[in-house]
Amino acid sequence: MNVLGLSGSLRQGSYNTLALRAAQKVAPEGVTLQIAELGDIPMYNDDLAKLGLPAAVARLKDQIAAADAVLIATPEYNYSVPGMLKNAIDWVSRPPEPPLNGKAVAILGASPGMLGTVRAQYHLRQILVFLNTFTLNKPEVFIGAAHTKFNSEGELTDEMTKKMLHDQLVALQALWKKVGRPLRGLLGGLTRRQGQDGGAAEVA
């Protein structure tokens, strides 16, 4: 299974990016994880979209489409997901053929606080439900007090967190095997209908 990792933080040394790198190291047999670059994606603007997708957006859409599953690591900003992550999702949710449609997705999050992004993950789940993903329910991965779980070189040192990341990828692999490749025609029709009913990146 080929997994694409999306980090919701652009900060150098981000705990969420470090968590994705740690997941690469503890991935079970048969699972590979590539981390996408989101830093050069512009703010969503339908005028830009009409001129053709920006290169960074087209690249991300292609990466998601090519992946078997997606693993999103989100910080928590003001009880919700970061604007940068939401912006990237808004871009790739636009037709034609939004690549998250029917995709197996798992969520994790890391923060210095004790709750480990629990509220942001809840909001992200709501977004992913609308986008018609197959979002993994369990195990949930909340990495609280993240500053105590990575060393100065950015390596994850907490064994329980390593096990959580491993177990989540095992569960994501099992979910992917169940849902497989969706019937794109049927799901594409559902997505077009969602856009008519008020999609996240609907023209406004």
Q: What is the mean pLDDT of residues 177-181?
A: 83
Of residues 30 and 189, the one with the higher pLDDT is: 30
Whether the pLDDT of residue 182 is over 80: the answer is no
- pLDDT over threshold 70, residue 204: no
153 assigned to some structural domain: yes
pLDDT tens, residue by residue, 88-147: 999 999 988 999 999 999 999 999 999 999 999 999 999 999 999 999 999 999 999 999
* Residue 39 domain-assigned (yes or no): yes
3-state secondary structure 103-165: CEEEEEEECCCCCCCHHHHHHHHHHHHHCCCEECCCCCEEECCHHHCECCCCCECCHHHHHHH
R_g (Cα) of the chain, nearest Å? 16
* Chain centre distance of CA 111: 16
The CATH number of the domain where 120 resides is what? 3.40.50.360
**pLDDT band at 194, cuts 50/70/90?**
low
User: Given this model, what pLDDT does residue 180 score?
Assistant: 74
- Looking at the domain assignment, is residue 204 inside a domain? no
Domain extent at residue 54: 2-196
pLDDT over 60 at 67, yes or no: yes
pTM of the model: 0.89
As given in the structure block, the two tokens for residue 53 are 């997708």
Residue pLDDT, tens place only, 3-54: 999 999 999 999 999 999 999 999 999 999 999 999 999 999 999 989 999 9
Report yes or no on 47 lying in a domain. Answer: yes
Is residue 202 assigned to a domain? no
Give domain status of residue 151, yes or no: yes
Q: Is residue 24 part of a domain?
A: yes
**Number of folded domains in the chain?**
1
Distance in angstroms (rounded) separating the CA atoms of residues 33 and 25: 9
Is residue 201 a part of any domain in this protein?
no
The confidence score (pLDDT) of residue 181 equals 59
